[in-house]
Structure 1
């Protein structure tokens, strides 16, 4: 039995939040909400699957990392700050090439139009997105009438998608590989093509948002069941006759059913969920928007596990879809602001002390070492975005917030009058993890991978709150 907590979206909306950092470029809040013209929507899927010579992005160790007489000097160069691709005909440098394709790598696009303004929600089957990639996609969408502020670009976070597409030094070295210009261009162009096809398919539409619960497909990977949020949202977009145009699945889950031993390109669990939901709907395009998945793993593993978890997600999403009302009059608005970050640091965590049988944090309560990182290796400003759909709001985080950070952002939005807050993670850029201060000081993986210091959670919360407040 699928347990559902169902609610429908209809009518206009509100939202809010408090300021954070210095805004370096603004969104479109000055234009005000757009309410009068009729709603139109279009959706499309584009196959982005590159050649099998690309590296797989997501896992930094063996067997994916290539360590031999040729690649060791290239690793040393990368550590020194130069990730060099010595052979433009070969996309793989530091990591192993994909050996085949299990299932397609896709760009999935939903475009919403009201009057002269168009909004795009686009998900890619990749580990993450950097600002440079987003900027290059956005530059190609201007001719389609989509402003950069109105593009929500998401990574599903599969750990078996194509690498060699990051422009950031740290992520290249850790898990993505050196930039390969031909692969990068292929992915940028394919993403823009998905949006172009969605624009070409624009037609009269209605929209609604519903919510359910799907606890079967996920687990807290730190063994903290109290810190698990199994809610699942669906943004339902239909024609006036009720037939499907698109469904955005919003659900927090790592794309790690497939482990580092997998060398086949795959969209992992998000791809399985989208394909299964499209079959259940009998049409339309499913778009996957990840949530606060920093400490959330899939319940199952392997290709069979990805399919099983994906089917469970789709089952619940379909039930939510069926129970969700739609309207043609929901207000739409969006804002995107870049916010200056704190100084980046590396948290050493609670490393073991030889000969003691324990770790440094147990021996010295409150122990922490933060090593300053070269700012050129990481973004020094980050995009935070909000998209209003009626009385509900989407707020984006350019990284991987853990569950409790997602809850904090949702609570901030509800306190400002939003009916429902959808926290989209892995959106528009990549800052690493967003652990709470308590989890940062605990020094586990999520804390160590939070690279803007122990108050990163507050920085992100305030930036998200500000975006929600500005759309209120």
Structure 2
């Protein structure tokens, strides 16, 4: 949901009194990606890309010009080429987060306005791009970590691709926002005071940074183009027990529940090397609540990470997972069945989803060739055009039309009970807030580009079709779109939160039930149906293979960007350097903190990497995702990173400030024992020039915590080993976690002991001396660590089991007497 807090007209007017990007290091195919960290200028984006191809060749121009009058050849057919890339979009730390309305400003920075500024990040938001090419024509699907798509981002990215990379993707880009309520705001060009309800006021510098970052990732994916296969698969009831997500809209029960389908669209190399998969279903990014002050992708990000880690663990090859919303307008994240706190819960969502996604991925039937077609258009939205001249359900109590749209529509008190699905607004006054009056009260005119125009795309791959919807579609809308596909004997998916944003979208009968989703719409009961019907006419054209232009528009955009002066940099009072060190030793499950003086946030997020001494010096610990060249670091949900400047933010840029940062790392339950350190890299500004810095902490040992205990029980010739520790306490300072935030054991409740589920190395001790051989004991899900003791020939009397994790770099041992019940 775009605006979780329902705001009355009076409260919205009260908002009028309020006063008023970091870019990616882009990585291509997960098997061949590289990571760079180059300096940036004081005024531009923090975007760095050094793309690496995975067997393909890159090109920089293609396709048609996008002239609405052009005639193009019939849809191209032939071999498929594809490229993928990933980059990061989170900061600058201090900017506000979109999604929840009314976030009280307690952290006022140079980058936020009406909503609270972020004070750190829990993982960096990822931008992921998949480029599919057939016969010189291209389709790009770009997953973004934002609350929504918006034409400022869609069209801004296309323009940046032309200007910075000489790549023309006019009409060929589909944006897919994950709908996290905890990532960058200020990209929606609404009148500034309306930003109070969940988007904050628009900021052209942030839009520029965001679109630059997005264009750079797409350019890296284009550079990765090479021969590929593609395929789709879907499961119509993949989460029946609501382990991953659930229906949240009661007003339309029992007619509509959650959208129960999961759809995958994947690409791989012809030799079977995985590249990426779109993961299409509907789920809000609202595990964290509005007090949260950390940038995070919330449940969608946790799902992507745990899927990618599970994929690599199962197949030994990495993949990019790209979550893309479908009917998320009335679906909430689950993952709370075992009582875990918010950060661990986003991992639980991914843990529950990953095996189901893997199973569906294995069912994909791969194709080497395709017919490809893409059609995009900007349409005008009018009362008559949507169909209200012949439909009396979008009028005021005097019978007058909501000619320019209406907001906060609800039946008169007593007419409609939102808690009772048997009641409806049908045939009753709607009591909407006329958008014309609202816009004019804010000094705007109608038609307005953010309300009366929208951007739509349809794409075809053989008999599989993709259509976009500019807002938050509910399950009723997805069901209607699928019926349209079925009527045409084709298959397809729907991208919600795509290309543009018009708040909630419901079918007419669903809208008339009232409730939050109806109130948070702009064009009444018919808009969603009108959009889907229009998209189906484009599907019909693509089925026929006509030569219509890739891009067309009813009228030019009424909402365009403005020039801006980039914010100057704040100098660092102190040279980069550590201000605290880790302890000499730390147990698995415990949390360490390291602090340092660094640079101001607009220079980019500092990267904190875990390194281990492998016997020949310190090397990066590989990322559990298996991405080539990627390390275990604070870019994902392994660490919490905070910006704590002195003096504290006051909404103003200072000439200089103490640019202080710290990171909290909770050591995983199965972290191999050994000697580690953290390496911190970033950029700083001394008042004259920017510079890269690199800091290394003192070494520290990872071992068992004092609370760890081993039991060894012998029965029926089998020895069962169980290695556990009590769950670390979940602690908060203000609104952010400082310990106990990781999902150490996904199979137990938050209050239950944490079990080590990694393979063990087992030896035996008797009379303080080793006896017998050394054995490897794997972990079997649902069974545990079970070992055939009878095969050892040892006498269990007075015998001790001694184990360490098989993956230990320097073994850390724990012992227990063998118990024979």
TM-score by length of 2: 0.49
1:366 Cα deviation (Å)?
2.7
Aligned to 1:385, which of 453, 457, 469? 457
Aligned to 1:405, which of 448, 456, 477? 477
Distance 1:234 1:146 in 2: 27
Aligned to 2:181, which of 141, 156, 159? 159
Please say if 1:127 is aligned against 2:162.
Answer: no
Please say if residues 232 and 263 of structure 2, whose CA atoms lie closer than 8 Å, have aligned partners that are also in contact: yes
Q: Which sits farther off after the overlay, 189-198 or 135-144?
A: 135-144
1:314 Cα deviation (Å)?
2.6
CA displacement 1:11-50 (0-9 Å, x = unmatched): xxxxxxxxxxxxx9859994432113x2111111101121
Q: Which sits farther off after the overlay, 297-306 or 208-217?
A: 297-306
Aligned to 1:106, which of 126, 129, 146? 126
Please say if residues 418 and 515 of structure 2, whose CA atoms lie closer than 8 Å, have aligned partners that are also in contact: no
CA shift in 2, pair 1:362/1:44, >3 Å: closer
Distance 2:372 2:457 in 1: 13
Distance 1:136 1:365 in 2: 42
CA shift in 2, pair 1:117/1:363, >3 Å: closer
Alignment correspondent of 1:348: 409
Alignment correspondent of 2:100: 59
CA shift in 2, pair 1:258/1:136, >3 Å: same
Distance 1:57 1:358 in 2: 28
Alignment correspondent of 1:285: 320
Distance 1:259 1:273 in 2: 18
Please say if 1:439 is aligned against 2:474.
Answer: no
Please say if residues 425 and 513 of structure 2, whose CA atoms lie closer than 8 Å, have aligned partners that are also in contact: no
CA shift in 2, pair 1:148/1:264, >3 Å: same
Aligned to 1:97, which of 93, 117, 124? 117
1:444 Cα deviation (Å)?
0.4
Please say if residues 418 and 514 of structure 2, whose CA atoms lie closer than 8 Å, have aligned partners that are also in contact: no
Relative contact order higher in (CA < 8 Å, ≥ 6 apart) = 1
1:350 Cα deviation (Å)?
3.8
Please say if residues 425 and 512 of structure 2, whose CA atoms lie closer than 8 Å, have aligned partners that are also in contact: no
Please say if 1:40 is aligned against 2:81.
Answer: yes
Aligned to 2:432, which of 360, 364, 370? 370
Please say if 1:331 is aligned against 2:371.
Answer: yes
Instruction: Look up the SS of the partner of 1:422 in the other structure.
Output: strand
Alignment correspondent of 2:234: 211
CA shift in 2, pair 1:412/1:362, >3 Å: closer
1:144 Cα deviation (Å)?
5.1
Please say if residues 128 and 157 of structure 1, whose CA atoms lie closer than 8 Å, have aligned partners that are also in contact: yes
Please say if residues 340 and 380 of structure 1, whose CA atoms lie closer than 8 Å, have aligned partners that are also in contact: yes
Within a 5 Å distance, the mapping from 1:135-284 to structure 2 comes to: 135-142=155-162, 143=165, 145-169=167-191, 172-212=195-235, 213-215=238-240, 216-223=243-250, 224=253, 226-282=256-312, 283-284=318-319
Please say if residues 244 and 281 of structure 1, whose CA atoms lie closer than 8 Å, have aligned partners that are also in contact: no
CA shift in 2, pair 1:57/1:191, >3 Å: same
Distance 1:348 1:393 in 2: 33
Within a 5 Å distance, the mapping from 1:81-92 to structure 2 comes to: 90-92=110-112
Please say if residues 424 and 513 of structure 2, whose CA atoms lie closer than 8 Å, have aligned partners that are also in contact: no
The structure having more radius of gyration, on CA atoms, is 2
Report how many residues are paired: 424
Instruction: Look up the SS of the partner of 1:442 in the other structure.
Output: coil
Alignment correspondent of 2:26: none
Please say if residues 269 and 309 of structure 1, whose CA atoms lie closer than 8 Å, have aligned partners that are also in contact: yes
Instruction: Look up the SS of the partner of 2:84 in the other structure.
Output: strand
1:434 Cα deviation (Å)?
0.7
CA displacement 1:50-70 (0-9 Å, x = unmatched): 121111111002xx23399xx
Alignment correspondent of 1:14: none
Please say if residues 50 and 183 of structure 1, whose CA atoms lie closer than 8 Å, have aligned partners that are also in contact: no
Alignment correspondent of 1:423: 494
Alignment correspondent of 1:15: none
Unaligned runs of 5+ in 1: 1-23, 72-88
Instruction: Look up the SS of the partner of 2:368 in the other structure.
Output: coil
Aligned to 2:350, which of 289, 300, 310? 310
Alignment correspondent of 1:452: 523
Q: Select the structure that is richer in strand.
A: 2
CA shift in 2, pair 1:461/1:118, >3 Å: closer
Please say if residues 115 and 196 of structure 2, whose CA atoms lie closer than 8 Å, have aligned partners that are also in contact: no
Alignment correspondent of 1:296: 331
Distance 2:225 2:504 in 1: 36
CA displacement 1:64-113 (0-9 Å, x = unmatched): 23399xx9xxxxxxxxxxxxxxxxx7111101111110111121111111
Please say if residues 118 and 145 of structure 1, whose CA atoms lie closer than 8 Å, have aligned partners that are also in contact: no
CA shift in 2, pair 1:214/1:364, >3 Å: closer
Q: Select the structure that is richer in helix.
A: 1
Distance 1:404 1:26 in 2: 33
Alignment correspondent of 1:19: none
Distance 1:28 1:202 in 2: 27
CA shift in 2, pair 1:365/1:187, >3 Å: same
TM-score by length of 1: 0.83
CA shift in 2, pair 1:313/1:341, >3 Å: farther
1:278 Cα deviation (Å)?
2.0
Please say if residues 266 and 276 of structure 2, whose CA atoms lie closer than 8 Å, have aligned partners that are also in contact: yes
Q: Tell me how large the CA RMSD over aligned residues is.
A: 2.8
CA displacement 1:409-463 (0-9 Å, x = unmatched): 1101221121x22011011000111122223222201111121122113212212
Please say if residues 207 and 238 of structure 1, whose CA atoms lie closer than 8 Å, have aligned partners that are also in contact: yes
Unaligned runs of 5+ in 2: 1-65, 313-317, 337-341, 383-403, 437-445, 544-821
